[in-house]
């Protein structure tokens, strides 16, 4: 597990680990999400996009057209193309922790050194005592992938 303090430490020292955002593209760039109770848009400063699917509740990027998990090598290449290559500790997060838990299991299956920030965007931007000062980004960034979402 990773705590809010751990994530804040990575924001202060990006060489320490990779933050991997397991949310839909529109969530990653701060255009919106389907959580009715959550305000605020964006991502943790410096996070790389780990993909998910077309919206908060549809994870199509990890499954093929028949709903079967894509081969692990394909998922490894997908993440590597977004700068998540397993060379550093990877901290997965999402909106509330359920999507990042799934990514954590994939990462562990790939032999990655990884952790899960299960508080996710909800903790970072809302429930943490320092939420108002936690660094956030919106829009595409220098570490945004050159490829567009699979959907």
Q: 130: helix, coil or strand?
A: coil
- Among residues 11, 94, 114, 136, the one annotated as catalytic is 94
Give the list of residues 6+ apart from residue 5 with CB closer than 8 angstroms, or none. none
136 catalytically annotated: no
> In terms of C-beta density within 10 A (0-12 exposed, 13-18 middle, 19 or more buried), how is residue 7 classed?
buried
Catalytic residues, which ones? 94
């Amino acid at each position: 597990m990773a705590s809010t303090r751990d994530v804040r430490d990575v924001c202060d020292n990006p060489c320490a680990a990779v933050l991997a955002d397991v949310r839909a593209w529109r969530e990653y760039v701060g255009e919106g999400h389907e959580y009715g109770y959550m305000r605020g848009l964006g991502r943790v400063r410096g996070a790389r996009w780990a993909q998910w699917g077309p919206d908060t509740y549809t994870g199509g990027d990890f499954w093929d057209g028949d709903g079967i998990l894509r081969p692990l090598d394909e998922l490894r290449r997908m993440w590597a193309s977004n700068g998540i290559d397993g060379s550093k500790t990877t901290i997965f997060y999402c909106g509330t922790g359920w999507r990042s838990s799934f990514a954590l299991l994939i990462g562990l299956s790939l032999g990655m050194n990884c952790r899960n920030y299960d508080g996710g965007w909800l903790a970072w931007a809302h429930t943490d005592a320092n939420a108002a000062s936690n660094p956030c980004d919106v829009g595409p960034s220098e570490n945004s992938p050159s490829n567009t979402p699979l959907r």
